[in-house]
Amino acid sequence: MSVPVPLVIGLDVGGSSVKYVAAALGSAPGDAPQVLRRGTLATPGRRPVAGLVAAVAEACGSDEVHALAVSIPGLIDSGTGRVIRVANLPELDGVALQEELASALSLPVRVINDGHAAAIAEARWGSGQGRADVFTLALGTGIAGAHVLDGQVRVGANGSAGELGHVVVEPGGARCSCGQLGCLETIVGAPALQAAWRDAGGSGSPVELLRAFGDGDPRAVAVVERAASALADAILTLLALVDPGCVVIGGGLASAPHRLVLRAAQLVAERASFHQVPPILPAALGRWAGAVGSAATALECLGEDALGATR
Amino acid sequence: MSVPVPLVIGLDVGGSSVKYVAAALGSAPGDAPQVLRRGTLATPGRRPVAGLVAAVAEACGSDEVHALAVSIPGLIDSGTGRVIRVANLPELDGVALQEELASALSLPVRVINDGHAAAIAEARWGSGQGRADVFTLALGTGIAGAHVLDGQVRVGANGSAGELGHVVVEPGGARCSCGQLGCLETIVGAPALQAAWRDAGGSGSPVELLRAFGDGDPRAVAVVERAASALADAILTLLALVDPGCVVIGGGLASAPHRLVLRAAQLVAERASFHQVPPILPAALGRWAGAVGSAATALECLGEDALGATR
C-alpha cells in the first residue's frame, strides 16, 4: 500500500507518556486528518529534544514525513514556539522547542498548547462538529479550557484565555496552585477530588469515586454533588461572559459514563436565570484528541509554509 | 455651509431621555464620525415609533438624512432588529423596531443594544483606541459589558455575551434582579451602592458616595472598598476566561474622578496570580458614546445596503 502524501506527525506530550499519530489529509476539505498509525512512548526526560526526535522516527517508520506539530502541557509563545512555562516537564522550561526540532529534523514544526490541540480536534470533529462557536473543557489534574471560534482557538490577548479552572467559585476557599483561594480546580481538579473522597472514607482514584457515585454510595454522592455544583457555577459564569454555542467537556474525569458532566449540566439548567443554556456535551474523541489536533496543526503549517515559499 | 453627505442620525434611547447626534463620515478611514449636531429629548412613552420618528426630524432639521441607527437598553434580535426584551421601556417589548422605523422613514435603519453602541465608540475612538481587543464595562443602574474585537462587538452565540454584572462574586449573597444570588450588580449596581451608603448613615446618590470616599469619609470608604473589591474579583474572572487586551470602564459611576475604577484596578493588580493584567482604564467619551456608536453603525449600514444594492 502506498503512503498518502503529505504525511505528518502529531505528538501529544504528557507528564509520563507521549502519544503520536502519523496522519494524512482527510479525503474532503474540512475532514479530520486520516490517522494511519498511532502509539504511545515514555516521555523523554533529561534530553527532551533528542527524545522527541526519536519519537518522530518511531512514528513515521520508513516513510517520509513532511511536517510535525507537538502539543505541550504549558504556555507557549505562539509566535516562536518557545516553551514559556510548563507544569510537569521542567526540562522543557524555556526551551526554543519549535526552532530546535525544526533544525534537528529539517521539517516545518509547530509547538502548541496541549489543551488547544485537543480543543481544535474536539470542536471540529468531535462533539462540537458543525458548530462555529465551541468552548471545550478538559477535566484532569488541572482544568483546561479553550474557546474555539470557526475551528481556531481564541487564545486571548496574552495567550491565557479560557482558564475556567481558575475562576473562583468559593471565595476564601482552599488555596489553589495558582495562588488564589477557591478556584474551580481546588474542588474539581483530580487531586482535590481524590482528597475529598479519602476524607469521606472512600478509597481509590477519582475514577473509582465516580463509579461509587453511579452505584449510589452516599459518601461518593456527597463528594460528586459538591464538584458538580462548583462546575455548574463556573459554567454559568462562562455563559454570562462568553455565551458559547456549545460546551464540550472531556478529560479523564469526564470519560464514560459521563456522570459528573451530566450532573453538572443538569444543575446548570436548574440554576440558569437570564442565561441562554447551550448544549453541554461529553467529548467524543477521547485521549487521542490532542495528537489528532496536533496532526491537523501540522497539516495546516504545511499549507502556510508553502504559501510563504511562493511569496 | 454645506452639509456633508451622507448624513446619518444616531439615537441612544434611555429610560428617561433620548440622545441624538447628526453625523457624517470622519475625514479619514477609521476616524470617528464627524458630529455636526447633538441634543437630548424626552423618551417617548406610549407611541414609541412615532416618538422616535419625531426625534429623527428634530435631529436632522432641514437636512436630508441617509441612514439611522437606534440603540436600546435591551436584548435585540441582531438579524431583524426586533426588540426581544427591554428593561425600562415596556412599550418597546417585542416591537419590530427596525422594520417599523425603516418603513415610516424610508431609510436604512439598524437597531442595536445600547451597551454595544457605546462599546464600539469607546473601543474604536475612546480609551481603547489603537487596540484590537477591548472589553468595555458601563457601571450604572445595571452593569453592561461588551467584548470588542477588531472594532466589532462579539455578541456571543445567543446575543448575551459580556454580562459581567451577572457574574456571581458572593455566592449566597443578595438576590439579583436576574434571579441569581450575589451577582456583581447586587454590590456595584447604583441601587445597591445607594442602599449600602444609606445603611452606613450617608445621604445622597452614589455620586455623592464617591465624593465622600474621595474626602476620606470612613463610612464611604467601607462601602466603596467593598464595591471595588467585588469589581476587582469579577475583573479577575474576566481576565481568566477572556484575557482581553484592555479593559475600559465607563458609565455614571465611573465618571471623573474615577475613584472606583482606580481602586478596583489597584486591587486587580494586587490579587492577580497567573493572570496577565492588561491596562484597566476609565472611559474617555462620556455620555455621548452610545449615540456616536449608533451613528457609526448607521454609516456602516449605508455601506452594507449599497453593497446589497449592487449585487
- Predicted confidence (pLDDT) per residue in B201-228, tens digit: 999 999 899 999 999 999 999 999 999 9
Which pLDDT score is estimated for B72?
93
State the Cα–Cα distance between residues B240 and B272, nearest whole angstrom: 10
Q: Is residue A123 part of a domain?
A: no
Q: Is residue B146 part of a domain?
A: yes
Q: Is residue B118 part of a domain?
A: no
For residue A45, the Cα-to-chain-centroid distance in whole angstroms is 22
Q: How confident is the model at residue B29 (pLDDT cuts 50, 70, 90)?
A: confident
Which pLDDT score is estimated for B27?
86
Residues B107 and B21 both lie in one domain = yes
pLDDT, greater one: B158 or B2: B158
Residues A258 and A209 both lie in one domain = yes
Mean pLDDT of the B28-56 span: 91
Mean pLDDT of the B104-133 span: 95
Residues A70 and A214 both lie in one domain = no
Q: Is residue A121 part of a domain?
A: no
> Cell 447626534 identifies what position?
B21
> Quick check: A160 and B244 CB within 8 A?
no
**CB burial class (10 A; 0-12, 13-18, 19+) of residue B149?**
middle
> Which residues of chain A neighbour B157 with C-beta distances below 8 Å?
133, 243-246, 276, 278
pLDDT of B111 strictly over 90: yes
Residues B106 and B194 both lie in one domain = no
pLDDT of A4 strictly over 80: no
Which pLDDT score is estimated for A140?
86
Q: How confident is the model at residue B305 (pLDDT cuts 50, 70, 90)?
A: low
**CB burial class (10 A; 0-12, 13-18, 19+) of residue A199?**
exposed
**Which residue among B166, B237, B243 places its CB closest to the CB of A158?**
B243
> Quick check: B278 and A180 CB within 8 A?
no
**CB burial class (10 A; 0-12, 13-18, 19+) of residue B289?**
buried
pLDDT of A231 strictly over 70: yes
For residue A8, give the C-alpha cell.
505528518
Q: How confident is the model at residue A43 (pLDDT cuts 50, 70, 90)?
A: confident
- pTM of the entire predicted model: 0.90
Domain assignment of residue A295, given as a range: 7-116+287-310
Residue A129 CB neighbour total at 10 angstroms: 15
Mutate to test the interface with B, among A155, A246, A274, A280 (most CBs of B within 10 A): A274
- Is some CB atom of chain B closer than 8 A to the CB atom of A244? yes
pLDDT of B90 strictly over 60: yes
Q: Is residue B49 part of a domain?
A: yes
Which pLDDT score is estimated for B37?
93
Residues B190 and B253 both lie in one domain = yes
In the three-class reduction of DSSP (H, G, I as helix; E, B as strand; rest coil), residue B244 is classed as: coil
Mean pLDDT of the B79-107 span: 91
DSSP per residue over A108-122, as a string? -EEEEEHHHHHHHHH
**% of chain A residues with pLDDT over 90:** 73
For residue B84, give the C-alpha cell.
426581544
> Quick check: B155 and A273 CB within 8 A?
no
Domain count, chain B: 2
**% of chain B residues with pLDDT over 90:** 74
Q: How confident is the model at residue B83 (pLDDT cuts 50, 70, 90)?
A: very high
Mean pLDDT of the A184-200 span: 96
Which pLDDT score is estimated for A311?
37
Mean pLDDT of the A139-160 span: 91
Residues B149 and B291 both lie in one domain = no
Residues A79 and A214 both lie in one domain = no
Residues A226 and A91 both lie in one domain = no
pLDDT of B60 strictly over 50: yes
Residues B273 and B291 both lie in one domain = no
Mean pLDDT of the B104-129 span: 95
pLDDT, greater one: B73 or A170: A170
Residues B103 and B147 both lie in one domain = no
Residues A79 and A170 both lie in one domain = no
Q: Is residue A87 part of a domain?
A: yes
Which pLDDT score is estimated for B79?
86
C-alpha distance from residue B302 to each of A74, A216, A239, B61 (Å) = 46, 62, 33, 20
- Predicted confidence (pLDDT) per residue in A102-137, tens digit: 999 999 999 999 999 999 999 999 999 999 999 999
**ipTM associated with this complex:** 0.90
State the Cα–Cα distance between residues A159 and A56, nearest whole angstrom: 27
pLDDT of A95 strictly over 70: yes
Which pLDDT score is estimated for B140?
86
Q: Say if residues B70 and B82 touch (Cβ distance below 8 Å).
A: no
- Predicted confidence (pLDDT) per residue in B151-195, tens digit: 999 999 988 899 999 999 999 999 998 999 999 999 999 999 999
In the three-class reduction of DSSP (H, G, I as helix; E, B as strand; rest coil), residue A149 is classed as: strand
Question: A183: which DSSP letter?
Answer: B
In the three-class reduction of DSSP (H, G, I as helix; E, B as strand; rest coil), residue B149 is classed as: strand
- Is some CB atom of chain B closer than 8 A to the CB atom of A116? no
A157: closest chain B residue by CA: B245
Sign of CA dihedral B120, B123, B129, B131: negative
pLDDT of B311 strictly over 50: no
pLDDT of B134 strictly over 90: yes
State the Cα–Cα distance between residues B250 and B23, nearest whole angstrom: 23
Which pLDDT score is estimated for A308?
54
Which pLDDT score is estimated for A199?
97
State the Cα–Cα distance between residues A29 and A51, nearest whole angstrom: 33
- Is some CB atom of chain B closer than 8 A to the CB atom of A30? no
Mean pLDDT of the A211-224 span: 94
For residue B151, give the C-alpha cell.
472594532
A100 phi/psi in degrees, rounded to 5: -65, -40
pLDDT, greater one: A305 or A84: A84
Mean pLDDT of chain B: 91
- Could you tell me the CATH number of the domain that includes residue A74? 3.30.420.40
pLDDT of A166 strictly over 80: yes
Mean pLDDT of the B131-154 span: 93
Q: Is residue A2 part of a domain?
A: no
pLDDT of B123 strictly over 50: yes
Q: C-alpha angle with apex A27: A21 to A28, nearest 5 degrees?
A: 120
**CB burial class (10 A; 0-12, 13-18, 19+) of residue B199?**
exposed
Percentages (nearest 5) of helix, strand, coil residues in chain A: 40, 20, 35
Q: Is residue A216 part of a domain?
A: yes
A275: closest chain B residue by CA: B160
A274: closest chain B residue by CA: B178
Which pLDDT score is estimated for A141?
84
Mean pLDDT of the B16-36 span: 92
- Is some CB atom of chain A closer than 8 A to the CB atom of B87? no
Which pLDDT score is estimated for A29?
85
- Beta strand spans in B143-210 (E): 143-149, 152-153
Residues B12 and B131 both lie in one domain = no
> Quick check: B169 and A164 CB within 8 A?
no
Most distant pair of Cα atoms in chain B: their distance:
65
